[in-house]
Amino acid sequence: MTAAITELGISRPLYYQLETKAIVAMLTALAPGANAAASANEATPAHQVAMLEDKITELEQDKRRLERLLFLTRKVLPPGPIALPSKRGRPMGSRNRSSADSGREPSPSSTSSTSSTTALPSVPSIPTPDGAPKR
């Protein structure tokens, strides 16, 4: 040991530090799961800084994308609260109706016409500026 210290020109505490580092590295390499050396390299401050800078870049991209989405949403939707429908899903009675009653108009051949005139649908009255209903 003394010969190595004098030959290399290093101090005794530095020799012991290097010896300890070498022994730990050899034991780590020989131990099962030798990939721990790679994870020890990832724990270096330089690697952590690089990982955090990548994360910052990713978060800034996400922020820009979400700000653009918010801008387009505000451009499309009218201002004010959004009215949600009071009922969700299908109406309760739709399950019991047959396919003939599904809301479609019956075909002309399936209806029997007893009168030759057809009634026009009622039109709601529209008030005029003077207040009288106009038909």
Per-residue pLDDT tens digits for 21-43: 999 988 888 877 666 555 666 67
Give yes or no: residues 1 and 36 share one domain: yes
In this structure, is residue 84 part of a structural domain? no
The closest alpha carbon to 40, from 55, 30, 25, 51, belongs to: 25
Give yes or no: residues 6 and 31 share one domain: yes
In this structure, is residue 118 part of a structural domain? no
Give yes or no: residues 38 and 53 share one domain: no
Instruction: Tell me what pLDDT residue 30 has.
Output: 83
Range list of H helices, the chain: 2-8, 12-30, 36-42, 45-76
Give yes or no: residues 13 and 36 share one domain: yes
Report the percentage of the chain scoring pLDDT > 90. 29
Give yes or no: residues 12 and 37 share one domain: yes
In this structure, is residue 129 part of a structural domain? no
Q: Which residue has the higher pLDDT, 32 or 71?
A: 71
In this structure, is residue 49 part of a structural domain? yes
Q: Which residue has the higher pLDDT, 77 or 118?
A: 77
Give yes or no: residues 37 and 53 share one domain: no
In this structure, is residue 119 part of a structural domain? no
The closest alpha carbon to 24, from 13, 36, 11, 42, belongs to: 36
Q: How far apart are CA 113 and CA 109, in angstroms?
A: 9
Give yes or no: residues 24 and 7 share one domain: yes
Averaged pLDDT, 77-83 = 81
If one counts the domains in the chain, the total is 2
Domain carrying residue 56: 44-77
In this structure, is residue 132 part of a structural domain? no
Instruction: Tell me what pLDDT residue 115 has.
Output: 47
Q: Which residue has the higher pLDDT, 40 or 76?
A: 76
Give yes or no: residues 50 and 18 share one domain: no
Average pLDDT, the chain: 75
For residue range 89-127, list pLDDT tens digits in order: 666 655 555 555 555 555 555 555 444 455 555 555 565
Give yes or no: residues 11 and 25 share one domain: yes
